[in-house]
Structure 1
């Protein structure tokens, strides 16, 4: 009788441990997926968690924005007033575009395709602006820096115009 109780307790302990391990692993995976889905580290996104691994066009555009923001954060440069403002503008533009992307994903497919083409162009502009920013912000020559930062600002202006058309 004592052996039966001991075996039952050991089995209950093993099952409980297995359930706890599965719960912890699941929680960590969900948190990692949520973190991988954020455009800017530490800032929640409205994009569905599934977009971190999905092959839908909206999900791929979301990940391109996320990767552009990672590249922006990876730039190792001394910030000036101009670069800080441009970095903030790039971040805000990406966040706004991501919100539009989430809204467009809810539309019927016949309405979605035209808007996705426009959003794709805007994502390409943001990627180009981040690339120019990374190049300009790491240059030692201040005159070249200002010229390249002006180019980045132009990319942002074009991006904002496209976004304005999206919301109109």
Structure 2
């Protein structure tokens, strides 16, 4: 009876340990698949270890964000805004990449390939920011490195806005109405001018 109880307890312990390991493993795997820590990615879990082009691009986005977030000097130099921009662009690229990967096979490769320069531009922006932390003894070099990163991030944001505008047009969504400009009233004629008219 005692032996059976010990065996049962051992089996329950082993099963419980296995379940705990499995749950922790799934949680770690899900975290590894996130592009921005703490924000769930729409990418399938298999992309965390897959070798498809879209999965590799997805992981490169996550690596770029982690490189920026893992550099505390960026915060010390007051570059938190740029770091947030990197996160926002990475999430936007990832979302569109997942959508492209869901296209039919005949269109998928070309659609996914279009994201290669965008991912590379994001990586370049991160590299420019990290470079700025190594040259912060020179204000001029620091400003140049940050400017380079800002230009790359601005170009990414503008490219994304253009793509979204094309998508809206293709889906029949009208662009936002441009407010009609009201002409400014012409200036009141001065009393001298009025007087000149009267005497003329």
Shorter chain as denominator, the TM-score bin is: 0.7 to 0.9
Name the structure 1 match of 2:8. 12
Aligned equivalent of 1:146? 143
Kept in 2: contact 1:37–1:49 (CA 8 A):
yes
After TM superposition, list the pairs within 5 Å mapping 1:1-168 onto structure 2.
5-77=1-73, 78-80=76-78, 83-139=79-135, 140-167=137-164, 168=166
How far residue 12 of structure 1 moved from its aligned partner, in angstroms, is 2.7
- Which is richer in helix? 1
- Tell me the number of residue pairs that the alignment of Structure 1 and Structure 2 aligns: 162
Which structure would you say has the larger RCO, counting Cα contacts within 8 Å and 6 or more residues apart? Answer: 1
For structure 2, the 5+ residue unaligned runs are 167-200
Which protein is bigger by CA-based radius of gyration?
2
CA positional deviation for 1:142: 1.8
Calculate the aligned-residue CA RMSD, in Å: 1.8
Contact 1:115 1:166 in 2 (8 A): no
TM-score, with structure 1 as normaliser: 0.86
Q: C-alpha separation between the residues in 2 aligned to 1:89 and 1:95?
A: 10
Greater mean alpha carbon deviation, residues 21-30 or residues 137-146: 137-146
Normalising to structure 2: TM-score of the pair?
Answer: 0.73
Is 87-96 or 70-79 further displaced after alignment? 70-79
Structure 1: tracts of 5 or more residues without a match: none
